């Protein structure tokens, strides 16, 4: 599969770090971001690369050549084949695709050159091929969803809405952000209805015609069933500002970037919802009753920074009892993600059990009144998360405020924490009063 790397940005926001080299050539621990990208791709069998360059592009071309030489930084062979397209005039962040479209005859990876990442691309591509879309977006939660573009998708992952930063957004939303990694079928260039010959030429407004990837190509596919999102907790971070650059440097030095690749076993902190994240009100049926416990957002933010995945596993029998719809539960969870996001925290995944074994409730859903494998104290939700994210359960924790939480964690092989002021003993590893206390003690 070909890989197109867009390396033409000027890097204005990070000029205080380096102004005399292209942004992708800024070094992290002695090796440039772009070289790290190429190394990640090569190690997974993606060695056919086209780079689009412009500002100071000769520096990139001189450094990498055609990919057959050795790295000046490491002395190792680059081990890839590289072609270039040089933009003499800026064409927008997707204009060059129309200039090289004859070389794009099948699905290709499209990546930004200024992002630090270490992801399992074969897993990403397999998802794309399974779903059969024209585009698959690599999506993830981040610590600032309130000022990021958001992706809204259905349960199958089909993108329903693409909300750019300037678009109005709902009051509550899932923390799902486009990370800037894509698998694209070249038919997208035809669907856009853009005349390739016009790109770069002077338009009616007297300015060169440019093409914006997000707004002109991808956003238009929302709601068509042709675009899917691939949710992953793997490390992808733009290092385009000084603060983000120094944050990436710290993560690299501490080994967090490579550790997040799903080829490697992950560690997770599984969290019960009611009484652990939000204040306990009994069966929560009304979204207005959802309120975060003081200190929870800061605690989850520390979990995010620690390298553990933050995964919610919650019994929601109100679904089977007919008291809350699936749509209402989704909105409650959107509120949880929105409130956490406003304080710089995020959840990597949310799993819930909608079942309830006891019958006889007015308005109940008979098809959900079953004995299942996912209702805690059974460990089904934890096993599903472990399968989805390659989690080592023996190195993970289950935290909750009840016996079922402790037993579910024990049944899955996790260490366990009971949140309690009392001396109940359900075999838990630790007892603390709050999630905040656990994080303060353990991280």
Pairing of strands 31-32, 397-400: unpaired
Close Cβ partners of 369 (under 8 Å, ≥ 6 residues apart) = 320, 355, 356, 357, 358, 359
Beta strands in 134-263 (DSSP E): 135-140, 150-153, 159-163, 177-184, 227-231, 235-238
C-beta of residue 85 within 8 angstroms of C-beta of residue 211: no
**Which of 248, 250, 259, 133 lies closest to 184 in space, CA to CA?**
133
Say which residue the tokens 């003993």 belong to: 425
Q: 355 to each of 315, 338, 368, 390, how far by Cα in Å?
A: 8, 26, 5, 25
CA–centroid distance for 47 within its chain = 24
Question: At 361, phi and psi to the nearest 5?
Answer: -95, 135
Q: How far is CA 346 from the centre of its chain?
A: 11
Q: How far apart are CA 177 and CA 149, in angstroms?
A: 6
Establish whether 274 is a catalytic residue. Answer: yes
The Cβ-side half-sphere exposure at 291, using a 13 Å CA radius, reads: 8
Is residue 50 within 8 A of residue 83, CB to CB? The reply is yes
Decide: helix, strand or coil at residue 367.
Answer: helix
| DSSP classification of residue 34 | H
Residue whose C-alpha is closest to residue 116's, from 63, 179, 182, 53: 179
Cβ proximity of 415 and 289 under 8 Å? no
Whether residue 107 lies in the annotated active site: no
Which residue among 107, 118, 251, 272 is the active-site one?
272
Question: Comparing C-alpha atoms, which of 46, 45, 89, 56 is closest to residue 32?
Answer: 56
The CA-based angle 33-94-123, given to 5 degrees, is: 55
Q: What is the dihedral of CA 181, 130, 386, 334, to 10 degrees?
A: 60
Q: Which of 238, 274, 348, 405 is catalytic?
A: 274
List residues with catalytic annotation.
272, 274
């Amino acid at each position: 599969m070909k890989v197109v790397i867009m390396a033409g940005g000027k890097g204005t926001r990070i000029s205080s770090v380096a102004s005399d080299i292209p942004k992708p050539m800024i070094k992290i621990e002695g090796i440039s971001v772009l070289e790290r990208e190429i190394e990640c791709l090569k190690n997974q069998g993606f060695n056919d690369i086209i780079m689009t360059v412009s500002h100071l592009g000769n520096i990139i071309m001189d450094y990498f050549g055609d990919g057959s030489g050795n790295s000046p930084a490491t002395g190792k062979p680059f081990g890839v084949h590289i072609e270039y397209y040089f933009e003499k005039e800026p064409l927008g962040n997707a204009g060059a695709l129309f200039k090289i479209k004859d070389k794009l005859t099948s699905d290709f990876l499209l990546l930004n050159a200024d992002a630090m990442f270490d992801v399992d691309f074969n897993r990403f591509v397999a998802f794309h091929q399974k779903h059969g879309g024209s585009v698959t977006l690599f999506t993830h939660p981040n610590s600032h969803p309130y000022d990021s573009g958001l992706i809204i998708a259905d349960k199958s992952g089909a993108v329903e809405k693409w909300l750019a930063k300037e678009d109005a957004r709902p009051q509550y939303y899932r923390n799902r952000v486009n990370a800037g990694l894509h698998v694209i079928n070249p038919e997208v260039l035809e669907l856009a209805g853009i005349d390739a010959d016009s790109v770069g030429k002077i338009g009616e407004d007297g300015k060169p015609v440019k093409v914006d990837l997000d707004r002109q190509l991808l956003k238009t596919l929302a709601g068509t069933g042709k675009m899917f999102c691939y949710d992953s907790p793997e490390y992808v971070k733009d290092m385009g500002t000084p603060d983000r650059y120094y944050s990436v440097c710290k993560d690299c030095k501490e080994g967090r970037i490579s550790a997040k690749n799903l080829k490697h076993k992950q560690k997770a902190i599984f969290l019960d919802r009611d009484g652990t994240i939000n204040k306990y009100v009994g069966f929560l049926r009304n979204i207005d009753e959802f309120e975060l416990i003081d200190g929870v957002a800061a605690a989850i933010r520390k979990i995010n920074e620690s390298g553990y995945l933050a995964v919610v596993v919650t019994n929601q029998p109100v679904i089977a009892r007919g008291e809350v719809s699936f749509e209402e539960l989704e909105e409650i969870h959107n509120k949880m993600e929105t409130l956490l996001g406003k304080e710089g925290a995020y959840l990597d995944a949310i799993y819930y059990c909608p079942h309830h074994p006891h019958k006889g409730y007015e308005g109940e859903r008979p098809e959900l009144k079953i004995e299942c494998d996912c209702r805690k104290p059974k460990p089904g939700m934890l096993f599903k998360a472990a399968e989805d994210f390659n989690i080592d359960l023996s190195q993970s924790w289950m935290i909750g405020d009840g016996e079922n939480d402790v037993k579910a964690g024990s049944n899955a092989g996790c260490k366990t924490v009971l949140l309690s002021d009392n001396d109940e003993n359900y075999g838990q590893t630790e007892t603390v009063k709050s999630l905040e206390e656990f994080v303060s003690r353990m991280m």
